[in-house]
Amino acid sequence: MFTCEWGGVMWAGKGAVWAGGGGVLAVVALPLLLLAGIGGSTSSMGLCPPGSPEKFAEFAHAAGADTAAPSGLHIDLPLAEADAAPPVPPELIAPGPWSYPVPAPATVTARFGQSGPHWSTRHTGTDFAAPAGTAVFAASDGVVLAVVHESAGRPFGTFVTLLHADNTVTVYAHLQEAAVARGQELAVGQQIGTVGSTGNSTGPHLHFEVRPQIKGRHLPVDPEPFLATATLSAAGTGPTSAQASGCLWPAGAPSGPVDTAALPELARAMTPTIVRLLEDCPELPLEWVHAQVMAESSWNPGAWTSDSNGGAAGLYQLSHEAWAAAEGDAGTWTRGSRPPASHPVWEPAVHLRVAITHACGNLREMTAHLLRHPTKPISPLEAMAVCHVAGCSRVMGSVSGIPVPGEAMCGRECVATVHAYLANISRHLHTITGTAPDTP
């Protein structure tokens, strides 16, 4: 893993993942932990962006975020070369499509807002690891705003800023060389330089930033929503539709089509229903729904578990309280008893509607909580899963969002349940996407 920092101070250590920056932010797409067991090793993963800058802003606003920028929250850290006088008026730059700034596999090694014990504060962009000399492309149509060379002694080393439509600026840092000049017009996918390790950097990578104008300055926001529908160039080719390998679905399952052969028959039959339900909750991935139901009931609609909380029923193993909260009442289901055969909790389509509504509510509640507590190294989806298996108080009352024994009133058995549940979801995600889990 290679790291960089903007702000004049760089911390490095063995196994480093995060890169620091400055300022204050909260961010939706927090890193996810793959848990091997209590006290086991962890690996950092990130989440795929939720669809578009507009959808990101809509979701963040719904979650209670202070969305001053069109793509969500920002870090209050100006960059002179992003605020330079434009060579042409921004309104003359036509909006265009977006492309990843590096070719496939576009491996992400650090994300916006990440932090760690070896770095000062927050990372202001997205880092893509690539061999030195790899081509770096313009992420969208624009005009070169500034070119700074390594000899200037800046933390970003050799870097380029591009001005795009709507007065948005992109930054390409730690370049080996820049092949453009101020005022030059560039088309999306046109080469601007090559990957390097200049400035404060521990190895070849591209540090990429997106800076919309916010309160008169160009400030960094999360780049990934801008890349949600971007093309990805194969090595040595022009942009083509593809998926960056560093953009991972929750719990570390590599992105890619669902292996329908790995799904139970009922899961395959209910997939169109789930897709329709997720239109109202786009931040909840289809893969996650399939994996969580597998972890809960193995897609057995008649599953029932008796427990000290009154029992859990159906595909998502919903409690009496969860069903009543989502539906307004529990109908003929008496708390502590198995629901009667005629109760809709046993009907897959109805159950999924209620369960996904319930899960999405927890997801948005946990996202809002993590926005207020950005130092917790847990993703909103993982926090949602902890809510489901152990209660949201375990997330809110623990330092990391995943309790240790004795924290948030969660004993060793409780902690073991949480870890096993998250590991099961991860395992099922890998199975249904046809990939092998990472070895801790």
* CATH code for position 402: 1.10.530
Please answer whether residues 84 and 160 qualify as being in contact, where contact means their C-beta atoms are separated by less than 8 angstroms: no
Cα–Cα distance between 420 and 423 in angstroms, integer?
5
Is 16 contained in some domain?
no
**Helix, strand or coil, per DSSP, at residue 375:** coil
Per-residue pLDDT of the chain (440 residues), as tens digits, is 333 333 322 222 222 222 223 333 222 222 222 222 222 222 223 333 333 344 334 433 333 333 333 334 788 889 999 999 999 988 889 888 999 999 987 877 778 877 644 345 678 888 888 899 999 999 999 999 999 999 999 999 999 999 999 899 999 999 999 999 999 999 999 999 999 999 988 889 999 999 999 888 999 988 888 887 788 876 544 444 333 333 333 333 334 457 778 899 999 999 989 989 998 898 899 999 999 999 999 999 999 998 777 899 999 999 999 999 888 899 999 988 999 999 999 999 999 999 999 999 999 999 999 888 888 888 899 999 999 999 999 999 999 999 999 999 999 999 999 999 998 998 888 888 765 444 33
Tokens coding 47: 């989440």
Q: Which domain holds residue 154?
A: 49-67+78-240
194 and 264 housed in the same domain:
no
Is 37 contained in some domain?
no
Helices (H), 5-52: none
Q: Residues near 391 by Cβ (< 8 Å), separated by ≥ 6?
A: none
Tokens coding 233: 């160039």
285 and 159 housed in the same domain:
no
199 and 302 housed in the same domain:
no
Please answer whether residues 145 and 81 qualify as being in contact, where contact means their C-beta atoms are separated by less than 8 angstroms: yes
| Last-in-domain residue among 214, 240, 266 | 240
pLDDT, position 252? 33
Burial (Cβ within 10 Å: 0-12, 13-18, ≥19) of residue 221: buried
Q: What is the largest CA-CA distance in the chain?
A: 76
pLDDT, position 282? 87
| Last-in-domain residue among 240, 265, 280 | 240
190 and 295 housed in the same domain:
no
Report the run of H or E that residue 360 belongs to, with start and end.
Answer: helix 348-372
Is 214 contained in some domain?
yes
| Last-in-domain residue among 216, 240, 264 | 240
Amino acid at 330: A
